[in-house]
Amino acid sequence: MAVIDLLIGALILLTVGAAVTALLAKWRAVCGYVAFLFVAVASVWVGVAAFHVLSTGSPLSGAPVLTIAPLNSSLVFTVDGLSAVFLLITSLVAVCATLFSVRYMLVYKHHSLIRYYPILLLFFASVISVVSVRNMLFFLVFWEFMTLASYVLVVFETDNPEARRAGLQYFIATHIASGCILLATILLYTYAPVKSFEFGALLEGTRVLMTTSPALVHLILGLFVIGFATKAGILPFGFWLPQAHPVAPSPFSAVLSGCMVKLGVYGLLVVFTSLTPLSHFTTVWGVWLAALGTISVFVASLTALQQTDSKRLLAFSTIGQMGYIWLGIGTGLALLRISPAVAVVALMAGLFHVVNHACFKSLLFLNAGAALYRTGTRDMDKAGGLMRIMPVTAAAAIVGSLAIAGVPGLNGFASKWLIFTSGIVGGLEIPLFVFLVVVAIFISAVTLAYYMKFVGILFLGKLHVGPEVERREVPVSMVVPQVFMGILCVAFGVLPMLALKYLYVAASGILPPGYSPPFASLFGNSALAVRLGLSGVHSAAWGPLAILVAFAGCLVLGYLISRMGGAQTREVPMWLCGEEHDFAEVRYPAHSFLLTFNEYFAKLYPSIPVPRLPRPAAILRLFDIDRWFYSPGLRWGERIIRAISATHAGYPQLYMLWMIVGAALAVIVLFSMGGGL
């Protein structure tokens, strides 16, 4: 059996699994375990195919499954280095989220699981299909299927008005984005010398337009960027994300952030490497992408500081972290024609952060889901100190929070370090990148601040929950995915070269043959340390194991010093102003955390008067249908009804009079129609 058949088999297995779980929806726990079994087997098959491509460097391609002759398009499943990375991410997140769902979804006693597991499995199948086709027609078909499946999962709690509003906003935003992608594709198809939706044919269409209509090329690329930025959650297009994340079931929130928003990055790379020739268009749009990413990092991270809803905080964090990815990808695209070595490292850095973000952000959403499962609330003002009853979840949350903040020794630092380094070196060619990197470095400190809020309020300190909350860890099926994701955060941080050698295959595979410098010239030959070589010299080096050993030594030394002092630990009632207080009265709440920072940072905002545009009164009246159509109709209808009701006074003589009048009118009408008897 060919390796590509494993991918096709996984798609069939997920489709069958959706049907089976629909039949088993009444048996909630059984349905969950069956769904996990189907997802686990399918993920292994997909992972084997993806790892084969990354190990050998040779793409996989199967036979046409479907051909549409009038459009000169065929459905062929193909796996290259880039799609292999996203397939591995999807497999990883799918297994962990589905296992976490088994016990978590039992909480929804009044909601049928026929709207969860079957849709979830079909969602995974659509994601795998999106990254495995090289035809924009089928890409858009699977993209739409993915969007509809995710919408159903976002509004899973149909009786929740907040979920319905968020779902409607998500539905409208993502379909406008899909419309932008569709319009851009049709424009390229129109100008393609060979009328086909295959990537190669659309590439030729772009090449033709570059010489005949450069402005139209910018319009097409802008439409693509809007479409994929909306899916990726990049501001100002990702406004739907903070509304959708809190209301979706927590396992699917992990999938949304860890898997689906990454497809915006995949689509972006496809557009600028498979549909656009290497040119000044790539450079210009690369700068814009990096700038959009930095704006998202800045705005979303500062907004996350204000949140008291744990999942809403994580949603804004997703927007910020996607900004880091766009900064790396934009830097790489902008420098492709100028400095191939720096460009390849920047693209790898962006992809590395895609992988790392899938690990720590999925982990953090599972942490928040575990806290919600145990306490019944997302409000960090109403729950805290959960480490006392959920030590494993708390430890995993600490690892995930330190990783996403970029603390050395964990995976977030490794990818951010590469993004910052490539941006600073690239600033020698495009100085704007130095400024963008400085902003991003500052926001890393802000990220640490709001994750200290997340961990400090929700998990550390004295236990603060209601008497109805069980004092024990969440079930094992919810603990295992968290531990596994936490291990990956540490592994990719301590041994980043494990991931980088495969990411090099992905990044170099989307560039022209021979364009990328050899891997050893960029990262050295050591498996334990990264020695970055840019512009012909060793630009930077990073030895995570040495730093980790030094850090562990400091911790041991601090522990020994504390033990040598012989100090005893004791707990006493809280005293304030000479009297005892209940802990809830003096607890530092989530809405006050970092209050001083927020107040002082507000002074940095410039007081620039924003001009107010006149309201288009005529247009507003035109769209005010209630005012000019429904309301007048209701008023006239009410008058007619009142007039008719006045004739029904209850007197028999009046009803007989109406009968006589009606009969007379009938006779008159008959004579007028027939011309007489």
Please say whether the beta carbons of 157 and 149 come within 8 A: no
The Cα 130–Cα 146 span in angstroms is 8
Q: What is the DSSP letter of 342?
A: H
For residue 310, what are its two tokens? Answer: 């744990």
User: ω before 236 within 30° of 0 (cis)?
Assistant: yes
Percent of the chain residues topping a pLDDT of 90: 30
Can you give the pLDDT at residue 627?
Answer: 66
Alpha-carbon gap, residue 129 to 42, rounded angstroms: 13
Question: Are the CB atoms for 133 and 75 separated by under 8 Å?
Answer: yes
Highest-scoring range by mean pLDDT, 56-70, 259-273, 602-616: 259-273
List CB contacts of 550: < 8 A, sequence separation 6 or more.
none
**495, 527 Cβ separation under 8 angstroms:** yes
HEC states along 482-518? HHHHHHHHHHHHHCCHHHHHHHHHHHHHCCCCCCCCC
Residue, of 419 and 548, whose pLDDT is higher? 419
169 burial type by CB count under 10 A (0-12 exposed, 13-18 middle, 19+ buried)? middle
Residue 614 one-letter amino acid = P
Dihedral sign from CA coordinates of 197, 199, 201, 202: positive
Per the structure block, which two tokens stand in for 244? 């959708």
Q: Facing residues of 246 across strands? A: none
Rg (CA), the chain: 30
pLDDT digits (tens, 9 = 90+) for 176-232: 899 999 999 999 988 888 888 888 888 888 888 888 888 999 999 999 999 999 988
Q: Is 514 left (phi over 0), alpha (psi -120 to 50) or beta?
A: left
Give pLDDT, residue 122.
94
> Can you tell me the distance from the alpha carbon of 417 to that of 233, in angstroms, rounded to the nearest whole number?
23
Nearest of 178, 186, 118, 173 to residue 149 by alpha carbon: 118
In this predicted model, what pLDDT tens digit does every residue of 490-500 receive, in sequence order? 999 888 888 88
Cβ(128)–Cβ(87) under 8 Å? Answer: yes
- Amino acid sitting at position 623: F
At 49 the pLDDT is 92
Q: How many CA atoms lie within 13 A of 673 on its CB side?
A: 6
Q: Which residues contact 404 (CB under 8 A, 6 or more apart)?
A: 317, 321, 357, 360, 361, 364, 412, 447, 451
Distance CA 380, CA 458 (A): 6
**Is the entire prediction scored with pTM above 0.85?**
no
Run of H or E including 284: helix 280-304
Contact partners, residue 31, CB within 8 Å, separation at least 6: 21, 24, 25, 113, 117
Q: What is the pLDDT of residues 371-424, one digit of tens each?
A: 988 888 888 878 878 888 889 999 999 999 999 888 888 888 889 989 998 888
Of 366, 354, 370, 398, the C-alpha closest to 492 is 354
The string of pLDDT tens digits covering residues 317-364 is 899 899 999 999 999 999 888 888 888 999 999 999 999 999 999 999
pLDDT of the residue at 676: 46
User: Among 225-234, 270-279, 536-545, where is mean pLDDT lowest?
Assistant: 536-545
Confidence of residue 650 (pLDDT cuts 50, 70, 90): low
In single-letter form, the type of residue at position 599 comes to E
Parallel, antiparallel, or unpaired: how do β-strands 579-581 and 537-542 relate?
A: unpaired
**pLDDT tens for residues 54-94?**
988 888 888 888 888 888 888 889 999 899 999 999 999 99
In the chain, what are the domain boundaries? 297-555+585-607, 635-677
